[in-house]
Chains A and B, each alone.
Chain A
């Protein structure tokens, strides 16, 4: 076991998100709606050396087990991410993120003339395509820099 792995597995209960694309850790937290505001203990490692990715980010969240639905949306910005659920210092579940078919909320439509950018009582809604996502209201395609469209409420 390398030092890095040791360090990230050292929470007692919670979730470790490993193998995040380097530099995307804060976007991962934004997508998950974790800003430390509700007192959860969060550790972030950025640009940690990785055999698989060269550099990777790691996020540890104490006392919170993330559901598959919550983590799948991460696949849009961190397709190689792995999710480790930790209980009593042991990893009890380990899974990968898979691409969801659609994303509700989370992203905001880059088309300033889209009805979802106005004060209407709807969440943004995107269909996930092979490459990128598409607004189901105005059809706008987002293929590059999806992370730039993450809306932090």
Chain B
């Protein structure tokens, strides 16, 4: 990969994606192969928002490459609460680490950080913007389970604020994939993402009911609808109930349907799905380590 930073899935070409996924596959087969590849290198984990898996999987990936990580601690204990700008914070941490992983509640934060530092910046989620490393592990999971040929992907839930959705939708335009977006009207894909998809000529369809499309899908990517997106509890309950997957619904799906979720889930995937062959979300989560190892190995 020729990029100095990984800020958005929009910057990834098919070639970039395949380079990362191939390296990830090699590392998954032989995790010891890169055990000393990045000894003495430090990765700065700058998480301005709570995160468990993304942070842990970067931590695990860096340590499996022989390197180490440093982090800034909880946001309440850091200088952020003293009103320091992000630009200042990353310019300080740049002096401590060889690359920065940034999770921040504002859209565009990773772009901004990249303008102030010379070390690589990896966007690990900027508000409702992008989450490109999640997308790489999602694509890895899709390639392993469904392949990229003549692919039909359904993406369901909170498409408006879901950064994993935005990144995945952009990345899938590199492949022969038709995309079906399933959401309540109030949480449909943002105009900026629809604009980009339109510009690439991607085949997309929007639906409000997953039953309209379930039979045609190779992959169903489910995301969580958050309570705080709705003005009142009743409205939320009604919508959340409609955008829920269970084993009964999946009876109608293709036997090979791959069901994914960026996790954590609440109740949008019923526990009875876990017992089916469709359930792929735990495997997907595990793929975070080899994929992030591959990415760090290529970028550092």
Contacts and interface: CB of A to CB of B under 8 A. Distances in A.
A84 B111 CA distance: 39
B192 A118 contact: no
A134 B107 CA distance: 13
A139 B87 CA distance: 20
A14 to B, nearest CB: 37
A138 B86 contact: no
Interface string A110-153: 01011110111110000000000011111111000000000000
Interface size class of B (residues with CB under 8 A): 20 to 34
A138 B107 contact: yes
A139 B85 contact: no
B128 interface: yes
Interface in A83-119: 111, 113-116, 118-119
B127 A137 contact: no
Given A113-B127, A120-B85, A122-B115, A141 B108 contact: no
B106 A115 contact: yes
Nearest to B105: A113
B111 A137 contact: yes
A75 to B, nearest CB: 21
Given A115-B112, A138-B129, A140-B192, A122 B106 contact: no
Contacts of B173: none
B108 A138 contact: yes
Interface in B51-110: 85-87, 104-109
Nearest to B130: A139
Contacts of B106: 113-115, 118, 138
B238 interface: no
B229 to A, nearest CB: 13
Contact of A122 (B107, B112, B191, B196): B112
Contact of A115 (B108, B128, B191): B108
Given A118-B106, A120-B85, A120-B87, A139 B129 contact: yes
Residue of A114, A119, A138, A141 ringed by the most chain B CB atoms within 10 A? A138
A72 B233 CA distance: 49
Nearest to B199: A129
A98 B120 CA distance: 37
Interface in B120-161: 126-129
Given A113-B127, A113-B128, A140-B192, A135 B108 contact: yes
7 contacts: A113-B127, A115-B86, A115-B107, A116-B108, A118-B85, A121-B85, A141-B191
Given A115-B86, A115-B106, A118-B86, 18 more contacts: A114-B107, A115-B107, A115-B111, A115-B126, A116-B108, A118-B85, A119-B85, A120-B86, A121-B85, A122-B112, A122-B115, A137-B108, A137-B111, A138-B129, A139-B108, A139-B192, A139-B193, A139-B196
